[in-house]
């Protein structure tokens, strides 16, 4: 329930940021812009409140992933969860400062720390996604129907240049079928890619603008809601 509310709040926050960016040069929209900015600020504060217990949850998740048999999954998910817990810890401290519980702290420094931890967590999750795609392609390559399609394509031409094109086509066909049969990997990859633009912009690794950040955040939130509504779209472990 809290995860769903968090995704809805995130969608409202980033959707507001996107519309503020789109309307900022429109005359006569100042009142609407102020309302959207207020909604964005309130949603941001509300989401921080919902995430107060996420530090402990992420540590528990790291403890579980440490026992995974697959060494790649064990490394990627454990490091991702540990950095995610640090991100939530920094986020909680920033929330405490915003309501006046903590005053003697550098907001900018803690905000950068939070973004760094979030960035590392997303990189590890994306590495896990790429590994999942690789494993899915391995399984798909063993499928008889796929191998028959590839053999049929390759038998149509013996030209070297054509064979190179066919190799690329075979790879793309394998990738397509792998993602088609594993929608949870596709959804998780798309979500993590969208999320990645947020800390990259904050850390000046790849500067965009508030509109791109708002759009990416909104798309990520929608994908997160979809994964919660349809559990088969949620990547495990």
Q: What is the mean pLDDT of residues 185-200?
A: 97
Higher pLDDT, 97 or 84: 84
User: What is the band of 8 on the pLDDT scale with cuts at 50, 70, 90?
Assistant: confident
pLDDT band at 145 (very low <50, low <70, confident <90, very high): low
pTM, rounded to two decimals: 0.89
Whether residue 47 is predicted with pLDDT greater than 90 in this model: the reply is: no
The per-residue DSSP string of the chain comes to: -HHHHHHHHHHHHHHHHHHHHHHTTSTT-HHHHHHHHHHHHHHHHHHHHHTTTHHHHHHHHHHHHTT-SSHHHHHHHHHHHHHHHHHHHHHHHHHHHHTTS--SS-HHHHHHHHHHHHHHHHHHHHHHHHHHHHHHHHHHHT-HHHHHHHHHHHTT---HHHHHHHHHHHHHHHHHHHHHH-HHHHHHHHHHHHHHHHHHHHTTSS---HHHHHHHHHHHHHHHHHHHHSGGGS---
pLDDT grade, residue 158 (50/70/90)?
low
């Amino acid at each position: 329930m809290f995860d769903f509310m968090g995704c809805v709040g995130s969608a409202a926050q980033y959707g507001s940021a996107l519309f503020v960016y789109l309307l900022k040069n429109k005359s006569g929209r100042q009142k609407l812009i102020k309302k959207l900015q207020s909604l964005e600020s309130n949603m941001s504060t509300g989401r921080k409140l919902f995430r107060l217990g996420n530090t402990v949850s992420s540590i528990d998740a790291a403890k579980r992933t440490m026992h995974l048999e697959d060494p790649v999954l064990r490394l990627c998910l454990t490091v991702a969860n540990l950095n995610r817990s640090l991100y939530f810890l920094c986020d909680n401290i920033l929330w405490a400062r915003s309501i006046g519980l903590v005053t003697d702290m550098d907001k900018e420094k803690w905000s950068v720390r939070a973004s760094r931890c979030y960035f590392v967590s997303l990189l590890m999750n994306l590495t896990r996604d790429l590994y999942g795609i690789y494993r899915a392609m391995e399984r798909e390559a063993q499928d008889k129907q796929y191998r028959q399609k590839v053999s049929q394509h390759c038998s149509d031409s013996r030209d070297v240049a054509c064979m190179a094109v066919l190799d690329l086509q075979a790879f793309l066909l394998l990738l397509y079928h792998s993602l088609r049969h594993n929608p949870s990997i596709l959804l998780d990859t798309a979500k993590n890619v969208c999320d990645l633009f947020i800390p990259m912009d904050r850390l000046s690794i790849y500067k965009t603008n508030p509109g791109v950040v708002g759009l990416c955040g909104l798309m990520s939130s929608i994908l997160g809601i979809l994964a919660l509504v349809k559990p088969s779209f949620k990547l495990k472990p």
